Structure formats: C-alpha cells, structure tokens
Copies of this chain bind each other. A is one copy, B any other.
Amino acid sequence: MDETRRIAVAYVESCEQRDWAAFEALLAEDVVYEMPQTRERISGRERFVRFNREYPGEWHLSVRRVVAEGLNAVVWMAVSVGSEQVDACVWLDLSESGRISRITDFWPEAYEPPAGREHLVERW
C-alpha cells in the first residue's frame, strides 16, 4: 500500500516535472489509459508518454489526495491550465511487478447547479 501510494505520487510528480524517463519507468509496456467521458483509449507506454509530452497548454499537476489499497490507488489531482483550475480523479491499477498497467482519468468540469435545492445548499 505504501509502495502503491509512492508510485501514484511519483506518477503525478514525474509528469508535472516533465521527467519523461521517470514517468515512463513507472508504466507497464502494455499500459492502457482510458477517459470514459470522451470514450478515448490509448494503448501502450510509448503512445501514452507521447500523449503527455505533446499535451498542449501551460499545464500543472499536483496531488491533493491519494487513497491506496493493495495494487490500486485513486489520486485526486489539482490541475491548472493557465488561470483555469480543475480537479481530476485518476484510478490507477498496478501489475504484480509494480508497474502501472491501467489508468482511468475523470475530468469533472465546473457547471451551474440546477435550481430547486437552494434551501439545502450553500455555495462557496
């Protein structure tokens, strides 16, 4: 669990540092990356590293929280792209050899709340 947590943190930090050698070393060769919101899948370490290297914009990542159990972890990331701030939830599965073999990313975007629940809710 501590090792899973360490790997989850290193995944975010090596990406933030654009340390692509360190980032790649965390990944299984046949890693599968999925974004359910867009129904996109990237298969294989080489493509996935390239996807991150090529990702446009002035983006920055930091770890807000990690919950790790066995070979699984979930990371709550704070992401900034220019002046925009967004949270992401990243589900990581490790193989028995301790490499990241599956990644599922969720990118929840800000929206205006529906009417009808103002009596229960405060805004911040």
B123–A40 contact, CB under 8 A? yes
Hey, which chain B residues are within 8 Å of A48, CB to CB?
Answer: 120
CA distance A72 to B64 in the complex (A): 14
Is the C-beta of A110 less than 8 angstroms from some C-beta in chain B? yes
Is the C-beta of A43 less than 8 angstroms from some C-beta in chain B? yes
Hey, which chain B residues are within 8 Å of A112, CB to CB?
Answer: 38
CA distance A69 to B89 in the complex (A): 16
- Copies of this protein in the assembly total 2
Is the C-beta of A97 less than 8 angstroms from some C-beta in chain B? no
CA distance A1 to B42 in the complex (A): 32
Is the C-beta of A21 less than 8 angstroms from some C-beta in chain B? no
Is the C-beta of A68 less than 8 angstroms from some C-beta in chain B? yes
Say yes or no: A42-B120 contact (C-beta < 8 A), given A67-B67, A69-B1: yes
A residues neighboring B (CB under 8 Å)? 1, 35-43, 47-48, 50-51, 54, 56, 65, 67-69, 72-74, 76, 87, 89, 91, 106-113, 116-117, 120-124
14 extra A-B contacts, CB within 8 A, seeds A37-B108, A41-B121, A109-B109: A36-B87, A38-B111, A38-B113, A39-B124, A40-B124, A42-B122, A54-B120, A67-B68, A67-B72, A69-B69, A87-B106, A106-B106, A108-B108, A109-B111
